[in-house]
Structure 1
Amino acid sequence: MLKKLSFLFIVFGAVLVGWSGFEIWQSKQAQESALKEAQALVKQEQAFTAAEEKVTLESFQPVKGETIGILHIPALGAELPIVEGTNPDELAKGVGHYASSAFPKQHDQIVLSGHRDTVFRKMGDLKIGDTVTVELPYGSFTYIIENTEIVDADDTTVIRSTAPEEVLTLTTCYPFSYVGNAPKRYILYAKRN
């Protein structure tokens, strides 16, 4: 009986490890696909000439689930796709733009969220003074990290208007090595360079 129980635990553990590996692989594939889509989008917009219709902030109207740009984090050597929205499907593809927050040049808070175990795995390695760049079809915008904080998971006060100041806010779950639903959020604030 004990041998059968041990065998069942081993099989169950192997299935769990296999399923976790599949989930990680699937998430990586979705991120790579979204990044290629974002690179093509940005490249296409850069190829327009002055005579052609160019995407502007006013004409930029992303749809939930759509890949909208690239987040560059030089200190981490990261180039991450930005997807409109922050539900699980969107976050599986990359960094999610919180839909009710602003975009660069709107002079308000821009909120980008990502999973601590995928796109923002090394976010804790970033330091004050490091830069991040948001590349969208209508331009490239660089921000300098000025502050970080750790808040409770249900603290929504970090999402607020900063008008007329433009602040890029990056959020992820914390602690980074926590297994399961993390009890805190790691928040990083950066201002436009």
Structure 2
Amino acid sequence: MRWLEWSLWAVACVCLLVCSFAYAQQRRAASFAVKASAPASTGNDTNVESGIVQSGTVFGLLRIPAIDLRVPVVEDDDTTSLLRGVGHIRGTALPGGLGTVGLAGHRDTYLRPLEKIRPQMQVEISRGRAMYRYVVDSTEIVTPEAVRVLDTEDTPALVLVTCYPFHYIGAAPMRFIVHAHLVSLVPETATGS
């Protein structure tokens, strides 16, 4: 019976270490995002002015003040990138570009606050030397196959994607979509960054 107790303690310690590591990674990514949203240097990972961003690079910060959401924006929506923040969906526009910016994230980590989002709320993306302000138009729930939500528009728009229902255990059967449109671009000097 003693060996069972020690085994359970060992498993508990391993679980605690894994959770601590994941939490530390998320905090580190958030710290990088704050730096990435400041005036960017044109290093190897990102060239903000030209729009070239390497996969896995934190290149911005997504904020929705009304629901207290602040999360790094990472290039790509693969498993590793989504551990660091919300992922920019390849093939969609970058903030400031013409067309739809697609951002995806996990409902059980960074994008859980989206369950409180409502039309007319402001969404901000800080990237390099600018802040892009969007206003939420609508939300919808779709099947995972409904890629039409990312269709490119002729005007700057934003789509946030996460799994739904928010409190579902396991692989969620639906997707929660937030549609927003660009209302302003605030240069770095005006934001006080």
Give, in whole Å, the separation in 1 of the partners of 2:150 and 2:178. 12
Which of 38, 58, 79 in structure 2 is aligned with 1:43?
Answer: 38
Residues 77-96 of structure 1 mapped to structure 2, 5 A cutoff: 77-96=68-87
Give, in whole Å, the separation in 1 of the partners of 2:24 and 2:128. 23
Higher strand share: 2
SS in 1 for 2:172: coil
Aligned to 2:92: 101
Q: CA deviation at 1:152?
A: 1.0
TM score, norm. by length of structure 2 = 0.80
RMSD (Å), alpha carbons: 2.6
Aligned to 1:31: 26
Give, in whole Å, the separation in 2 of the partners of 1:121 and 1:17. 27
Aligned to 1:64: 55
Aligned to 1:135: 126
Q: Structure 2: which 5+ runs fail to align?
A: 42-46, 184-193
Q: CA deviation at 1:79?
A: 1.5
State the percentage of identical aligned residues: 29
Which of 154, 175, 178 in structure 2 is aligned with 1:188?
Answer: 178
17 and 147 in structure 1: CA distance in 2 versus 1, 3 angstrom threshold: farther
Aligned to 1:124: 115
Give, in whole Å, the separation in 2 of the partners of 1:143 and 1:180. 31
Q: CA deviation at 1:184?
A: 0.2
Give, in whole Å, the separation in 2 of the partners of 1:24 and 1:128. 35
Q: CA deviation at 1:165?
A: 1.4
Q: CA deviation at 1:23?
A: 5.1
Give, in whole Å, the separation in 1 of the partners of 2:139 and 2:48. 33
Larger Rg, first or second structure (1 or 2): 1
Is 1:178 equivalent to 2:168 in the alignment? yes
Is 1:167 equivalent to 2:124 in the alignment? no
Question: Over residues 99-157 of structure 1, what are the superposed CA-to-partner deviations in whole Å (9 max), with x where a residue is unaligned?
Answer: 21101222200000110000001101011110110110141000000011001123222
